[in-house]
Chain A
Amino acid sequence: MSQIQERGSTHVYKVNKISKEEMDSMVARCVHEDPPFCSAACPLKLDARAFLEAAAAGNFKKALLLYEKIAPFPLILSAGCEAPCEKKCRLSEIGDGLAIREVERAVARFGEQSRLGMVFRSKKRKSTAVLGSGLFALLLAGELEKKAYPVRVLCEEADEEAYLRAAAPFLDGEAFRLELKRLRGKDIQFEFGCALTPELLEETRGSADVLCASWELTQQLFPGAQSVPELVYCEAERLVSGPSEGVMGAAFAVKKAALTVDRLAQNLDPRNTRGQEGAVDSKLYTDLAEAKELRRVPVGESGYSREEAIREAGRCIRCHCEECLKSCAYLKHYKKHPGLLAKEIYNNTQIIMGDHQLNKPMNACSLCGQCTVVCPNGFDMARVCHLARQNMVSTDKMPLAPHEFALLDMLFSNGEAFLCRPQPGYETCRYVFFPGCQAAAIAPATVKAAYLDLCARFEGGVALMLGCCGAICDWAGRYEMEAQTRDFLDRELAKLGDPTVIAGCPTCLKELSGHEGLKLRGIWDVLLEIGLPAGGHGLDRPAAMHDACGARGDAKTQEAVRELARRLGCELSETPYEGDRAPCCGYGGLTAYANREVAAEMTDKCLERSDAPYISYCMACRDRFARQGRESRHILELVYGTDAGAPPDISEKRRNRLTLKNEVLQEIWLEEAMEKKLDYPLRWTDEARRMMDDRMILVEDVIAVLEDFRESGEAIRDEDGLLVARRRVGNATFWVKFSPEDDGGFLVRRAWSHRMRVEKREG
């Protein structure tokens, strides 16, 4: 198999395979959207993080607006609030918790009241009436006014001042004056000096849609009336009323009562859709290392001044979890926390008709698993993206284009470039060396040296298998192809007598561990056991070790490679994000093929950790770092004293694999190699080679076009006299611009391709 069938149509309507429950449970692991601990502890649900942010910025107007959302009378609440938020402030774990209530008081005192939303606000059609006085009645009247209900207050008091005094006798002079002004500014219709009789209540019931009363009045008019605590509603009396204790108790009861009023005004059962009321638990994670100022700004007798409140609010670290975004270039690129991105990617898999706009992010994840390690809750973006890819494949919605080059490369590795031979003199072997497709592509001399070394030092025969472990199709979500690859490799291994596989690549080791009953070791383990061969040497200056994502969770491998480096005389410098927390180089998950921009950002993320040369134990990492201009060596290059040199382009990678196969066949197995040689000279401009690498056009594709031209003579002559020929190869049409040379050869100048078919149209 050397071609992959493109899906025949975009008109495919199949159902999905991922269960919503499974996706929901994965998404729920992301705590980014959990409230900060202070807000979670507040039964009134103050957005304390935004409030403190506004206060810290000196924007008291905005801060007051946020505070007024929970408190129609801010000075009353801040005077009597028990501040459960302060007890939960994470700063209290390492220093003084934030004085949130004092900041609230300062904001209530100094903040300018915003008229936003007060002007031209249309009132609701349903009207309300509040009978009696006291804290509950006052706060409820304020809350209902805020919700735009027409509110009538019927009370015994003679005026607003007496009404406020009855409700909040604890307010001092200035606070009382400010709250009285606020009360007078509210659109509440007062009826003072009322005799609160049962007749008045019944009369009011006739004119108001929802009737509310203070608890004292309810008890007086209906002795023994029972209020449902979670509704603050006396069902028999059809009266919104309930007992409340203290300012906090009254404020929370008012929140519940106002919701009951909403439901009653809509003629709904007040138990309906109330959401989560009161304080909640938060699972949010916060990195306390971001805290700068641990000591609280001292509070004077009259509370904070404006400046002091700004300083205190500035100590807030705005609890938020961005552990994964800090370390993952992919999530950073899409500027989304993984819970949201995962939801969107899941929704993307559910689209039957229309654009799958999340295909690109779905295919851009390197599936490296770093997020799972750095996330305090173990969020697994790799699983989300991998499942989504498999799902897209299963419903025939997965585009082939992003992964086709890599998949064809895998077919090449396990086809034309594949080799499986027992050591000469053996029919079956105890071991087989499996260096991995990238090692053969990037450092063929190192592979050969390692194989010869293993042959020389092991008894029982060491076979060689050059091919791909199947990680490519696994990453692409092509599960059927993965199963075929597994069967193919199992059959080849069986021919060798099921030897122990010595893997040269941690990703191969991980991928092959999915084969039932397969005995597996990493070459790093083997080398530690049998000792280093002669000829190896470390770097003469400190280097950074880059851990491969294939070895995540495999401390033994990570340590074995470090020990090898130390024995070679390497001095390893420490870098952030080592071991299990290491980022991916950009090759993993086929990111390098599906989204080069994100892949480049991933490589940069790896390289920003250190200025030193990088030592890695995955050949793809070695290659990507070298391509980015960093001195980069694979541990096996150091062990065998080889240097793979400058990174090869995509065509050289294929040629290296073929050359390695032919070389070992000739030198070790003394077999005649089948090498195709061109019978005409082929030359390239530098620009053409760069262009081909960039556009994923192989030398073989160009040769196919030229062979076709030589046979058919079909080409276009352009305005500069250059020839342009084309040929359909697999799912793409390749175009080559060239000039014929005097010696019968060709100079290739440009190359491009497209996947669409094009043909002449009649009529």
Chain B
Amino acid sequence: MAIEKNYYTIDPQGKLSCYKCGVPLVKGKAKFMYLDNGFPVELPVCPVCGFVYVPEELALGKVASVERALEDK
């Protein structure tokens, strides 16, 4: 059920940056929460403002499948 820690597959070269703070995103600790369930994950996060990025492939892939599994609980 846990979501893969996939920072390096998302941004292996560190090319993502925060538009507002102008700094590169770093591997950071984040948490997905749904229907009273929480999953600690590592995602690209802005070290200054804390913006957590959920890329398209992750949202439509693993996140969507965990959502569906929880919805049917």
Check if B54 sits within 8 Å of A760, measured CB to CB. Answer: no
| B interface residue count range (under 10 / 10 to 19 / 20 to 34 / 35 or more) | 35 or more
B26 to chain A, nearest CB (A): 12
Check if A717 sits within 8 Å of B17, measured CB to CB. Answer: yes
Check if B63 sits within 8 Å of A754, measured CB to CB. Answer: yes
Task: Give the complex CA separation of A61 and B31 in angstroms.
Answer: 63
Task: Give the complex CA separation of A750 and B37 in angstroms.
Answer: 29
Whether A399 touches B71, Cβ cut-off 8 Å, given contacts A716-B17, A752-B59, A759-B31, is: yes
Q: Which of the residues B20, B36, B43 comes within 8 Å of A758, measured between beta carbons?
A: B43
Task: Give the complex CA separation of A356 and B69 in angstroms.
Answer: 9
A733 at the interface (CB under 8 A from B): yes
Check if A718 sits within 8 Å of B45, measured CB to CB. Answer: no
Check if B72 sits within 8 Å of A716, measured CB to CB. Answer: no
Q: Which of the residues B33, B66, B72 comes within 8 Å of A356, measured between beta carbons?
A: B72
Give a binary string over B42-73; 1 marks a CB under 8 Å from any A CB, 0 the rest. 01111001111110100110011011111111
Give residues of chain A (715-763) contacting chain B, Cβ–Cβ below 8 Å.
715-719, 723-724, 726, 733, 735, 737, 750, 752-763
Q: Which of the residues B15, B36, B46 comes within 8 Å of A718, measured between beta carbons?
A: B15
B38 to chain A, nearest CB (A): 9
Check if B35 sits within 8 Å of A760, measured CB to CB. Answer: no
Check if B31 sits within 8 Å of A713, measured CB to CB. Answer: no
* From B28, B31, B45, B73, residue with most partner A Cβ within 10 Å: B73
Give residues of chain A (92-137) contacting chain B, Cβ–Cβ below 8 Å.
none
Check if A757 sits within 8 Å of B16, measured CB to CB. Answer: no
Give residues of chain A (495-528) contacting chain B, Cβ–Cβ below 8 Å.
none
A10 at the interface (CB under 8 A from B): yes
| Smallest CB gap from A716: residue in B | B53
* B59: chain A residues within 8 A (beta carbon): 735, 752-754
* A716: chain B residues within 8 A (beta carbon): 16-19, 25, 44, 46, 51, 53
Whether A714 touches B67, Cβ cut-off 8 Å, given contacts A735-B59, A759-B30, A760-B29, is: no
Check if B36 sits within 8 Å of A10, measured CB to CB. Answer: yes
A585 to chain B, nearest CB (A): 26
Q: Which of the residues A355, A717, A726, A762 comes within 8 Å of B69, measured between beta carbons?
A: A355
| Smallest CB gap from B17: residue in A | A717
Check if B56 sits within 8 Å of A752, measured CB to CB. Answer: yes
* B25: chain A residues within 8 A (beta carbon): 716
A9 at the interface (CB under 8 A from B): yes
Whether A715 touches B19, Cβ cut-off 8 Å, given contacts A753-B59, A757-B32, A761-B31, is: yes
Task: Give the complex CA separation of A609 and B49 in angstroms.
Answer: 59
Task: Give the complex CA separation of A726 and B53 in angstroms.
Answer: 9
Check if B30 sits within 8 Å of A8, measured CB to CB. Answer: no
* B35: chain A residues within 8 A (beta carbon): 6-10
Check if A712 sits within 8 Å of B31, measured CB to CB. Answer: no
B31 to chain A, nearest CB (A): 4
Whether A756 touches B60, Cβ cut-off 8 Å, given contacts A401-B67, A724-B53, is: no
* From A400, A401, A716, residue with most partner B Cβ within 10 Å: A716
Known: A719-B16, A752-B59, A756-B63. 5 other contacts (CB 8 A): A713-B19, A719-B13, A737-B56, A761-B31, A762-B29
Pairs A–B under 8 Å by Cβ, sample size 7 = A7-B35, A355-B69, A752-B60, A758-B33, A760-B29, A760-B31, A760-B52
